[in-house]
Structure 1
Amino acid sequence: MAEIQPVRGWRYNADLSAHIDDYVSPLFDVVSTKQREALYRNELNSIHLSVPRGGDPAGEALARLQQWQQQGVLRQDEMPGIYVYYQYFRLPGSPREYCRKGFMCHIRAYDWSENVVLRHENTLPGAVNDRAELLARTQFQTSATHGLYRDEDFELERYLDEAIADPLYQTEEDYQGARDVLAVIQDAAIIRRFQQVMAGREVILADGHHRYEGSLAYRQARMAAAPANSGREPWHFHLMYLTNAAADDLRILPTHRLLLELPAGLTDAEFLTRLEPYFTVLPKDDIYDLPELIAGKPWAFGLYIGGQAYKLRLRPEVHEQLTWDTTPEVKALDLTVLHFFVLEKALGIVGPDAQRTWPGVAYVRNFPECLSRVDRQEARAALIVNEVTMEEVERVCHSGAVMPPKSTFFYPKTIGGFLFTSIRDDEHDNAFYTPHLAPGSGL
């Protein structure tokens, strides 16, 4: 199953780490234009490595990386370790402080066909190519993707808790309101135990599909150029943040659908008429009641259009009309129902491929933002959805299928710049190969 290895992490030097909030950044696919421009003004912020700019962005990132390493802005830890990463956060309306516990390490970059790392969404080739080029030029990983393993015994958590009591550094509050804490485990016996536990596990990729596929593309290119490789070279590995799917601090937030336009001059009334063969359509007095009205109800959605709120509930007898060529686990999802019966049947955007590229839909996590954009006539309608559950993610992954786009938003996101790792050839001495794992076998 999953082979993991410790790393000699690269981190901001001690003086800069004391003010780590100034140097971390959001992930490349969630950072807004406004955030990006503000971060670029800090010449030492990690955004310059993760989302470089200029005529040759990857070349700019490489030049800056080499400069930072030579000047001691970034320093490499003397000993390899597994890096403990805790994120403390709250959700709106809840007094509870959550703590998502996990650890960062290198994991072998398994092809999807090996069924060790499992995906739940498709990727966009352009974004994968961008990440692969950046990785090929810098051979440096600026942020960990997020993977999930399941351990009902919570064996590793006691080691994580012991380590986090002596943190390396922490943010006061990152861009999403979370407090991020980093520690390290460098005890060889404990690291081997982590390897043994993970060797019996599959990993579900929660977040970072484009970065992971970028690592796969780079690894494949290096293997083609060096077919006699040993399998131990650092470029076989990928930086991942691993958390236990059995924990109750793993939060998945809903991503609502905003209809920016309706096809072919469709009126609001005509759109509602087209929905009625498939849904019970119930007008509601208060749009702010919709999240509560649909909570926990399968195939139920909120609709806000023309200043009026509606609750939609699929008529159970029509579900068998869902004819997409996918697994029963995917067909059972709320979002599959929404995409098939609303986007395809009511709006005529036929098939998942056409829907992924249709410019008439936007994905918005913030419920009030959905409403205000409709009120400002920036969108025609908002479709309010429930969150996907962890159980649904696992069922879909094990079925071998993928979810509709933007199905999951694991919260909070990891941050860039907290820990860097290198996959250069001269990093080969980081690995702790355990006797029961065949080096270079790919498992």
Structure 2
Amino acid sequence: MAEIIPLRGWRYNQELSNSIQDLTSPLFDVVSLKQREALYQNSYNSIHLSVPQGTFPAKEAAQLLQTWKTEGILKQDYLPGIYVYYQYFRLPGSEQEHCRKGFMCQIKAYDWDEQVLLRHENTIPASVNDRIDLLTETQLQVSPTHGLYTDPDFLLEKYMDESIQAPLHESEDYQGVRDVVAVIQDAAAVREFIRVLKDKQVLLADGHHRYESSLQYRKASRAANPDHTGTESYNYHFIYLTNTEGCDLRILPTHRLFRHLPLSSEEFLSKIAAYFTIIPLADPFDLNEIIIGKKWAFGLYLRGKPYKIRLKTEVHADISWPLPAVVKELDLTVLHYFVLEKILGISQEAQRTSTEIQYIRNFAECLSRVDHEEAEVAFITNGVTIEQVKTVCYSGALMPQKSTFFYPKVISGFVFSSIKQNEFYLEVSPCL
């Protein structure tokens, strides 16, 4: 099923990469404005390629990229390979160290209906358009999307564990995570990675917007090429793959804020009470803990007052969205249907583009934004499980947008993947 190939990655030259932590950056959709401004101060930081500035940012990123190639700031590895990427991390409040193991390569950009690469949530159109412009101008994939494959026999881990003993890069990122990158260039080992993945489906964990942009770029390129064969560089996408059977996959919740509530607090609570039981709380900092492990339960922080709300079991059957049962069971489906659509009047489709809805990962930030009147209500949620993600993907249905936050996030700047035709063929020909 999934066709993967090695790549000749572009990386910072040896002199610069000795300080790789000064050159890496968070993904474009999680980097904060404050982080951007700090990273922009380093003229070689990868933020200039992933979130470029200027009147015509995509064009300026393309010009900068060419300058970096010409001046040797970035150099392409001589041999193609599989880039191993381990992330060592601890969760808040725990001393246990986890290690998420994975590897970076190119994967064929399959259309959704081919059922080889499966998504689990919707994209937000504006973010996709931004990524298409950047990919079209630079023909560079700055950071990999995160995909999941299932291998209960752990056939590839022995190759990765061996290679990580001789890292190309090692640094600590903004999350406090230790990132280690290595490369496998042995042709026999590379062929084993290709063999193991060829009968797998891949679940898209993170990077839906970047993958969607590759699909749109491929579609446009194919239409413009009368001699299209399917092997051209535009048919491939940069991806980071991890095994769903590993014990160190973590998914954190993404909370919802609503900026302007068109109801008084009393009216809103009255409408909530039609579907949910409501329990007032004394301390808003209990909101995230009091709902842990409780189905269809949410923390509600309404104009400075905290409540626990939980859906009344008997009303769950009222969900009229045409979704499989497995998706209707999700907490976020309950929230988006009963609160956002039924109470606030925002349709399922309109929720994807609404500027009133904000998606925040940090619990304390949710409370702060309400306290500072930047939003009027926060909905605190539980995270989904990897089993729920797998079940939804295999059902062919989608979760609400921003349903998952796989932690830790991959980091931009260790390896870049070119889909320029001449550079791409140099990537793949020696091994294939």
Taking structure 1 as the reference length, what is the TM-score of the superposition? 0.94
Q: 2 CA distance for matches of 1:329 and 1:106?
A: 31
- Given residue 57 of structure 1, which amino acid in structure 2 is its aligned partner? P
What corresponds to 1:330 in structure 2? 327
Matches within 5 A, 1:299-314: 299-314=296-311
Q: 1 CA distance for matches of 2:67 and 2:194?
A: 34
Q: 2 CA distance for matches of 1:125 and 1:372?
A: 28
Q: Does the C-alpha gap of structure 1 residues 398 and 432 become closer, same or farther in structure 2, counting only changes over 3 Å?
A: farther
Q: Secondary structure at the match of 2:100?
A: strand
8 Å contact 1:232–1:428 — kept in the other structure?
A: no
Q: Does the C-alpha gap of structure 1 residues 307 and 220 become closer, same or farther in structure 2, counting only changes over 3 Å?
A: closer
Q: Secondary structure at the match of 2:102?
A: strand
- Given residue 88 of structure 1, which amino acid in structure 2 is its aligned partner? Y
Matches within 5 A, 1:47-62: 47-62=47-62
What corresponds to 1:283 in structure 2? 280
The C-alpha deviation readout for 1:85-140, integer Å capped at 9, x for no partner, is: 01111111111111111000000011111111111122233322222222122211
The C-alpha deviation readout for 1:356-415, integer Å capped at 9, x for no partner, is: 233332211111122222222332222111001111111111111111121111111111
Matches within 5 A, 1:242-391: 242-263=241-262, 266-349=263-346, 351-391=347-387
**Cα displacement (A) at 1:306:** 4.1
Q: 1 CA distance for matches of 2:15 and 2:278?
A: 60
Q: 2 CA distance for matches of 1:348 and 1:130?
A: 28
What corresponds to 2:64 in structure 1? 64
Matches within 5 A, 1:216-255: 216-255=215-254
8 Å contact 1:5–1:432 — kept in the other structure?
A: no
8 Å contact 1:301–1:312 — kept in the other structure?
A: yes
What corresponds to 1:439 in structure 2? none
- Given residue 213 of structure 2, which amino acid in structure 1 is its aligned partner? G
Q: Secondary structure at the match of 1:285?
A: coil
8 Å contact 2:187–2:431 — kept in the other structure?
A: no
CA RMSD of aligned residues (A): 1.6
Q: 1 CA distance for matches of 2:303 and 2:206?
A: 35
What corresponds to 2:103 in structure 1? 103
Q: 1 CA distance for matches of 2:44 and 2:369?
A: 36
Q: 2 CA distance for matches of 1:231 and 1:391?
A: 33
Q: Secondary structure at the match of 2:269?
A: helix
**Cα displacement (A) at 1:433:** 9.6
Q: 2 CA distance for matches of 1:197 and 1:372?
A: 47
Q: Secondary structure at the match of 1:123?
A: coil
Q: Secondary structure at the match of 1:294?
A: coil
What corresponds to 1:94 in structure 2? 94
Q: 2 CA distance for matches of 1:15 and 1:97?
A: 31
What corresponds to 1:441 in structure 2? none
User: Structure 1 regions of 5+ residues with no counterpart?
Assistant: 436-443
**Cα displacement (A) at 1:270:** 1.6
8 Å contact 2:125–2:353 — kept in the other structure?
A: no
Q: 1 CA distance for matches of 2:62 and 2:242?
A: 30
- Given residue 193 of structure 1, which amino acid in structure 2 is its aligned partner? E
2:407 paired residue among 399, 411, 435: 411
Matches within 5 A, 1:67-78: 67-78=67-78
Q: 2 CA distance for matches of 1:291 and 1:205?
A: 27
Q: 1 CA distance for matches of 2:239 and 2:369?
A: 36
8 Å contact 1:81–1:191 — kept in the other structure?
A: yes
Percent of pairs with identical residues = 61
- Given residue 259 of structure 1, which amino acid in structure 2 is its aligned partner? F
8 Å contact 2:296–2:311 — kept in the other structure?
A: yes
8 Å contact 2:79–2:430 — kept in the other structure?
A: no
Q: 2 CA distance for matches of 1:59 and 1:19?
A: 27
Q: 1 CA distance for matches of 2:214 and 2:389?
A: 23
Q: 1 CA distance for matches of 2:302 and 2:426?
A: 60
**Cα displacement (A) at 1:346:** 2.4
Q: 1 CA distance for matches of 2:134 and 2:247?
A: 35
8 Å contact 1:261–1:361 — kept in the other structure?
A: no
Q: Secondary structure at the match of 1:159?
A: helix
Q: Secondary structure at the match of 1:352?
A: coil
8 Å contact 1:6–1:432 — kept in the other structure?
A: no
8 Å contact 2:140–2:416 — kept in the other structure?
A: yes
The C-alpha deviation readout for 1:157-191, integer Å capped at 9, x for no partner, is: 111110001101111x2122111111000111111
**Cα displacement (A) at 1:258:** 1.6
Matches within 5 A, 1:207-222: 207-222=206-221
Q: Secondary structure at the match of 2:210?
A: helix
User: Structure 2 regions of 5+ residues with no counterpart?
Assistant: none
Q: Secondary structure at the match of 2:280?
A: strand
**Cα displacement (A) at 1:434:** 9.1
Q: Secondary structure at the match of 1:240?
A: strand
- Given residue 125 of structure 1, which amino acid in structure 2 is its aligned partner? P
**Cα displacement (A) at 1:220:** 1.6
The C-alpha deviation readout for 1:23-74, integer Å capped at 9, x for no partner, is: 1111111112221122112111111111122222222111111111111111
**Cα displacement (A) at 1:16:** 0.7
8 Å contact 2:123–2:352 — kept in the other structure?
A: no
The C-alpha deviation readout for 1:208-240, integer Å capped at 9, x for no partner, is: 111111111121222222232332222211110
What corresponds to 1:170 in structure 2? 170
Of residues 291-300 and 372-381 in structure 1, the stretch that sits farther from structure 2 once superposed is 372-381
Q: Secondary structure at the match of 2:84?
A: strand
Q: 2 CA distance for matches of 1:358 and 1:75?
A: 42
- Given residue 74 of structure 1, which amino acid in structure 2 is its aligned partner? L
- Given residue 344 of structure 1, which amino acid in structure 2 is its aligned partner? E
Q: Does the C-alpha gap of structure 1 residues 33 and 291 become closer, same or farther in structure 2, counting only changes over 3 Å?
A: closer
8 Å contact 1:254–1:386 — kept in the other structure?
A: yes
Q: Does the C-alpha gap of structure 1 residues 280 and 4 become closer, same or farther in structure 2, counting only changes over 3 Å?
A: same
Asked if residue 19 in structure 1 is aligned to residue 42 in structure 2, the reply is no
